[in-house]
Structure 1
Amino acid sequence: MTTIAAKEPQPRATRFLLYAEQNYAYGILRPLQAAIRARGGEARWFFAGPEVDPEHLEPGEVKLGDVAAVRAWRPEVVLVPGNMVPSFIPGLKVAVFHGFNVAKAGRSDDRGHFNIRGCFDLYCTHGPGDTQGFARRAAEHGHFRVVETGWPALDPLFRPEMPAGREPDLPARDGRPRILLCSTFTPRLSCAPHLLETVRRLRDTGRWQWLIQFHPKMDPAVVEAYRSLEDDSLSFIETRNILPLLRTSDVMVCDTSSVMLMFLLQHKPVVTFRNQSRGDRSHLLDVTRPEALEGAIEEALSQPAELMGRIGALAGELHPYTDGRSSERVLDAADACLRQGRAGLKAKPRNGLRNLKERRKLGYWKPG
């Protein structure tokens, strides 16, 4: 009789640093923190700058106060929803991104999303669209790996039981279609000022339930103008946790904000106002005049087959994962990279100037 030896369990990392430079990092890194804890690992937060508000930390979340504390803790993996992490932070550097690649007019693909700054050992990509771009750059530069995992920030979108921060207080559904209006704060791109009177008129018809949610940096005058519209048909929602709003709404009205991509991934239609994205926009219902908004929303609510097919194709390219387990895939990819080490890779760039700037920003001047 032949005995088959049981496979030895592969070693897993146990200490993960959650590296935050902006408040949006909370929503991206918390699903990863939940997955780390589920595996029996430890997560610590590090705030790389004053823009992160520690008041958003929740009970049980632990912050390391400075670089010396980080180095003493010796993280095995550093999870970064941004473009930069200095070499004097120990651990495998993993880029998990702060959002999707929105190709805006006047911007080349080599800016922003696809910039290679020589900081990372591993890029965990969202879907085939950005995997292909980073794979080409991996072949060109030779000093990092690329694994397609999906985006951890979306895990709670597809698994509502996952914690994603404080739940916003939403009005009860009453049978009417629910329209979510989101807008960027950038004046030249924002739809909010242009649509105010149209939204007021559509609210007055009582046909739909409106939810309004803006970027925290939105012009306060615009915020107050929309607040003044609140009634039984329109609610202004202040929250950093937009996922419940995405789940509960039937149609989104937006401009060029990347949040519309998160909505589309649910296979729900988006109406945009003067969208400035480059390339194919056939998955959007774009209008250029406020008076065209009502008809576009009606069309979106009807979910025409051709439009829904284009939305499905986009979702398959952008983020095909709907199981809510992208965080687990990121951790698996990090473990695999730790086991491989730097075998087959070139040395990362020294990044002397960037690291000097980071030392100045973080107040760390010791060797290492």
Structure 2
Amino acid sequence: MSSSSKRYLLYIAQSYSYAILRPLQSAIRARGDEVCWFFEGDEVNPSFLKPTEKRLSTVTEVQAWQPDAVLVPGNVVPNFIPGVKVGVFHGFNAGKMNHKGREDHFEIRDCFDLYCTQGPATTLPFIRLAEKFATFKVAETGWPTLDPMFKGDLPQPYAVEGDNRPVILFCSTFSRSLSCAPAVYEQIKAMSTQGDWRWLVQFHPKMSQEIVEKYKALENENLTFVETDNVLPLLKAADVMLCDTSSILIMFLLQGKPVVTFNNKTKRSHLVNVDHIEDIQPALVRVLAKPAELMAKIEQYCDDIHPYRDGLSSERVLTAVDELIAQGTDDLKPKPANLLRHFKMRKKLGYWKL
């Protein structure tokens, strides 16, 4: 490693974060820098790690390696991990409220030195929060996860040669209060037997196993249940999405493709929302025609959420990290101690050294 190169730690707690951070890993390697992975807790499947990817298994190993920066798609990272802490988000702001009655996407947990935001819709609120707390900086970079989608170099494992039917992707969040999967089961079962469309079904990794098994049992020549750690090829394969409140619908919209939601309370004009089961199929028929007014609203929304379509968000993140390292963090206020949160993280990682 040359004296000018940097070390980046990819800090993850869920298996879906592999796909979130791999574009960043590619950009880091292209620069000639070093990159390692670290898994928090036991919800990351280590078998998804590729032979070319390096993992540090303990906090002691991480401290010995001395990363310059830690890239985190989750909400928290311990203060005893070396390097500047960079929040890159695990999804878009879907407007979900936490138990404190605040939008979870904008909850400040006193862990990060830099937030790399996805577009004006999130940048402006984070700038206001940075002015309020003065403990972190903000850079609008776009979301690295989407780089492969915009570069157009995704594999196409869900294409079926000779089958030109429209493809409907059904996704649902795991939260019992927000998930539409139980409510729409019978309707999807009926629609999947009609044969007019091809169905792909994919759920959040935390979805109830009972629901997962019910939908797996629906598999037929028209419906495929998909379990994957990389949803981008899935999004690429579909023409229309049926969803609820899951932030994956925003990733789908960014392709310029329409989404039908069931019982989505946000009432956004870029979505076609229905509240009655019998309205789902007519809504899907309508959006498959891509009505001009709807598509214009989708484009307007996407420009606000994520205006970057060049596939270079990873490079912008690394540039922002370079600037933070060069400037240092001395101009930031010390973060609140948050002793309880850091005690929980020490307990989770089994690390008690000072």
The TM-score, its normalising length taken from structure 1, stands at: 0.89
Alignment check: 8 A CA contact 2:123 2:138 kept: yes
1:331 corresponds in structure 2 to 318
2:300 is aligned with 1:313 = yes
Q: Deviation at 1:198? A: 2.0
1:40 corresponds in structure 2 to 32
Corresponding residue to 1:240 among 219, 229, 243:
229
- Structure-2 change in CA distance of 1:143 and 1:228 (3 Å): closer
For 1:113-128, what aligned pairs fall within 5 Å after superposition? Answer: 113-128=105-120
- Structure-2 change in CA distance of 1:108 and 1:320 (3 Å): farther
Alignment check: 8 A CA contact 2:85 2:113 kept: yes
- Structure-2 change in CA distance of 1:350 and 1:186 (3 Å): closer
CA distance in 1, matches of 2:303, 2:162: 30
Unaligned runs of at least 5 residues, structure 1: 1-10
Alignment check: 8 A CA contact 1:100 1:258 kept: yes
Structure whose alpha-carbon radius of gyration is higher: 1
Alignment check: 8 A CA contact 1:254 1:271 kept: yes
2:180 is aligned with 1:198 = no
1:364 corresponds in structure 2 to 351
Q: Deviation at 1:175? A: 1.4
For 1:242-261, what aligned pairs fall within 5 Å after superposition? Answer: 242-261=231-250
For 1:108-257, what aligned pairs fall within 5 Å after superposition? Answer: 110-161=102-153, 171-172=160-161, 174-257=163-246
Alignment check: 8 A CA contact 1:20 1:46 kept: yes
1:342 corresponds in structure 2 to 329
Alignment check: 8 A CA contact 1:12 1:335 kept: no
2:341 corresponds in structure 1 to 354
Q: Deviation at 1:169? A: 5.3
CA distance in 1, matches of 2:162, 2:239: 11
Corresponding residue to 2:23 among 31, 35, 39:
31
2:8 is aligned with 1:21 = no
Alignment check: 8 A CA contact 1:18 1:29 kept: yes
Alignment check: 8 A CA contact 1:155 1:162 kept: no
Between the two proteins, what is the percent identity of the paired residues?
Answer: 54
Could you give the per-residue CA deviations for residues 261-309 of structure 1, whole angstroms, max 9, x where no partner exists? 11011111000111133xx511111111111111101110111111111
CA distance in 1, matches of 2:76, 2:116: 15
Q: Deviation at 1:188? A: 2.7
Aligned residue identity for 1:315: C
Report SS of the residue matched to 2:314: helix
CA distance in 2, matches of 1:87, 1:322: 34
- RMSD value, Cα: 2.1
- Structure-2 change in CA distance of 1:47 and 1:221 (3 Å): closer
- Structure-2 change in CA distance of 1:86 and 1:177 (3 Å): same
Report SS of the residue matched to 2:21: helix
Corresponding residue to 2:289 among 295, 302, 309:
302
Q: Deviation at 1:172? A: 3.6
Q: Deviation at 1:352? A: 3.3
How many positions carry a matched residue from both structures? 352
CA distance in 2, matches of 1:249, 1:216: 20
Aligned residue identity for 2:84: L
- Structure-2 change in CA distance of 1:111 and 1:195 (3 Å): closer
Q: Deviation at 1:13? A: 4.9
Alignment check: 8 A CA contact 1:193 1:222 kept: yes
Alignment check: 8 A CA contact 1:168 1:237 kept: no
Corresponding residue to 2:309 among 311, 322, 326:
322
CA distance in 2, matches of 1:340, 1:20: 26
Alignment check: 8 A CA contact 1:85 1:119 kept: yes
1:270 corresponds in structure 2 to 259
